[in-house]
Amino acid sequence: MTTDRSKQPPLAGFRVIELARVLAGPWAGQMLADMGADVIKVENPEGGDDTRAWGPPFVEGADGENLSAAYYHSTNRGKRSIAVDFSKPEGQEIVRRLVRSADVVIENFKVGGLKKYGLDYESLKAVNPKLVYCSITGFGQTGPYATFAGYDYIVQGMSGFMSITGEADGQPMKAGVAIADIFTGIYAVAAIEAALIHALKFGQGQHVDMALLDVQAGVLANQNMNYLISGRAPNRMGNAHPNIAPYEVVPAADGHLILAVGNDGQFRRLCGIFGIESLADDERFASNKARVAHRAELRPIICAETVKWKKRDLLDACEGNAVPAGAINTIGEMFEDPQVKARGLRIDLEDRDGNRIPSVRSPIVLSETPLVYERPSPRVGEHTQEILEELQQWERKA
């Protein structure tokens, strides 16, 4: 880490104890680690985080060592790992000692699951009154479902998300990644940072109650409002947009691409590209409201034009005429995209044995307090001795 204080990452000096596993909690922990917090991941000595085994693929060291599944490495960068069995009194005491030196705890056990170990919010608040304690569960700390186990896939269904995702005549579809978990991790970071500001101002910690269902329901955004205003539940529309047209996937001579025509001027320019300028004056298509109402008539007209073009030629024509359009990349093509390369989204981190482990940097870019990427995801208990020695030093000074 740089010694220039003005260029230190924004959360340098804060300590986070992560009693979380799988995705939502570790995602929040990784974001805080990227921002410079000292994130100590507490893992069971017998195998550690469940996702270490969620492969293939697995990261393999130069000597053939299994360095855990790619899934685990997607969400544990930048942390230190301490191996502690807190089902035993001695392990519980180590966690309490860590909490005395910490600012934040993140946990994702079932409601009440840590109380029997004396590691719930009320118990740890007595140890550290300024503690920000973030609980992540499927359904929150209250309500009739509070004690139910929460899974991302199930929450995508319960929230209404899957009812608006997929083709109109096909099955409801989940997203390609665990978006309820990831969004919850991101919202948790915002909540933790707000609670830290309160703790700095008033010396008072608090309990942050994050629920996957709350988050996944909340991020339905305009679709929520479409229902609340109209009283009609939105339906699945495939790749079409409920409020804008044409805003969808269209065919080209050599594949598919995205048109994202967001206003009347863009639509007029699109018609110009195709040489059908009069279409923009047709009362069925002259405004976005009209185009949405007549989308079933509009789509065949547009697709009959787009299919005459190769993808790259049509994308270039759209770019040259300020009409929003985009390619549909594979993940491999995304990483080869010149914009992605220019932004440096892929990073490679070297572990203690010289193994280089690929990662994807945070999308957060700060000009004065840049984020830090100093270490890959840790091995189980890799930093146990180091952390315990630091803790002893802290306790002697406290």
Q: Which residues are catalytic?
A: 181
In 3D space, the residue among 373, 375, 377 whose CA is nearest the CA of residue 365 turns out to be 373
In 3D space, the residue among 284, 302, 297, 314 whose CA is nearest the CA of residue 247 turns out to be 302
Distance separating alpha carbons of residues 49 and 68, to the nearest angstrom = 10
Please give the C-alpha separations between residue 251 and each of 165, 259, 261, 301, 358, in angstroms, as whole numbers. Answer: 20, 10, 15, 12, 34
What is the residue type of 128?
N
Distance separating alpha carbons of residues 129 and 205, to the nearest angstrom = 6
Provide the H-helix boundaries in the chain: 24-34, 70-73, 89-100, 121-127, 152-158, 179-202, 212-218, 221-230, 264-274, 288-293, 295-306, 311-320, 331-336, 338-342, 384-397
Q: What is the DSSP string of 135-190?
A: EEESS-SSSTTTTS---HHHHHHHTTTGGGSS-TTS-----SS-HHHHHHHHHHHH
SS (H, E, C) 381-396: CCCHHHHHHHHHHHHH
DSSP state letter for 4: -
